[in-house]
Amino acid sequence: MTAVPIPANSDTGARPSAPAGRTAGVGATVSAVAVRTLRKYMHTPQLLVTTIVGGATFMILFRYIFGGALRFGTVPYVDFLIPGMVMTSVLITGTGSAVGVAEDSDQGFSDRLRSLPAPRIGLLAGRALGDTGVVAWGTAFTAALGFALGFRIHGTAGEALLAFGLCLACGFAFLWVFICIGLVSRNAQAAQGFSMLAYPVIFVSSAYVRVNTLPGWMQPVAEHQPITIMCNAVRSLALGNPALAGLGHTTTYWALLSLAWAAGITLVFAPLATTLYRRSP
């Protein structure tokens, strides 16, 4: 405690003590920013509500409108639908991150952070980590609502937990994309608008229907895009048997491929976000 740099309040008239000449560590930076992000959500309940309202509305509509008409594989539509809904909820929750990042740029908060001797990647990773906490909340809520609407897991509790963890890992990866969107748009409305691009990507996937029911020209895209892979993984884990959902590979295959996609997305968009952050005017 002897080296505490008391800011310029000595009455000797001497100049303030020389700065430490150090840069904040990545860990300290990440935790300081993540805590701020979480506090923002905790003290703004309306933010926590808006992150789930959209997803919940979708779920109720799909479950009751298509629940009677559709059946994929040998399971009821609700059991097919909810894993896809839970997985894609991370993209809907992630929209809030783009808006938050854009607001920080717009309102000078990013300027303050960027003028500090803290690593830029740490400042953004803190944001992504804090927002992952919010994604966890959104995922848990969506799953709970799914249960209330009649969804039941067919696999083990362990598999369900793995599915939850997989959603968080994929959510963390997609948050980097939303951070990039927020940095590019620089105001909340634009960020919200750009984030709407997530919807066609969600719909052209196996999230709500089997890919082989889509128009022929759409199928190759839908089949290989990451959201399909991730939905298949979560669905396999939830149903305990990929064959029940009409999936041609093992649960392990889908899970590992999902994690590879999540890692790939993070490796591309985290450095991109850092570059955008450094260069933002």
Partner 1 sequence: MTEAIIEAEGVVKRFGKVGALAGLDLVACSGQVTAVLGPNGAGKTTFVRSVATLIRPDAGSLRVGGIDVNRHPEQVRQVIGLAGQYAAVEPTMTGRQNLHMVARLFAQSRQQAAASADAVLAQLDLTEVADRLVRTYSGGLRRRLDLGASLVGTPRLLLLDEPTTGLDPRSRNQLWEAIRSLVAQGTDVLLTTQYLDEADQLASQVAIIDHGRVIAHGTPAELKALAGSDMIEVRAHHAADLPALARAIAPIGSDQPRIDMGTSRITVPVATGQSAITAAVQALGGLDIDVDDIGLRRPTLDEVFLKLTGAPSQPGNNGKPERATERAGTP
- Residues of the shown chain interacting with partner 1 in the complex, contacts defined by CB under 8 A: 1, 3-10, 13-25, 28-29, 31-33, 35-36, 39-40, 42-44, 103, 106-109, 111-118, 123, 281
Q: 149-187 burial, b for 16+ CB within 10 Å, e for fewer?
A: bebebebeeebbebbbebbbbbbbbbbbbbbbbbbbbbe
Residues 194 and 45: their CA atoms lie apart, in Å, by 24
51 touches 144 (CB < 8 A): no
| Residue with Cβ nearer partner 1 (117 or 264) | 117
Sign, CA torsion 137/140/143/145: negative
Residues 208 and 243: their CA atoms lie apart, in Å, by 17
**Lookup: tokens for 230:** 């991730």
Distances (CA, A) of 86 to 56, 90, 176, 191, 208: 10, 7, 19, 23, 11
Query: Could you tell me which residues are beta bridge partners of residue 72?
Result: 75
Collapsed DSSP state (helix, strand, coil) of residue 75: strand
Query: Could you tell me which residues are beta bridge partners of residue 244?
Result: none
Amino acid at 102: A
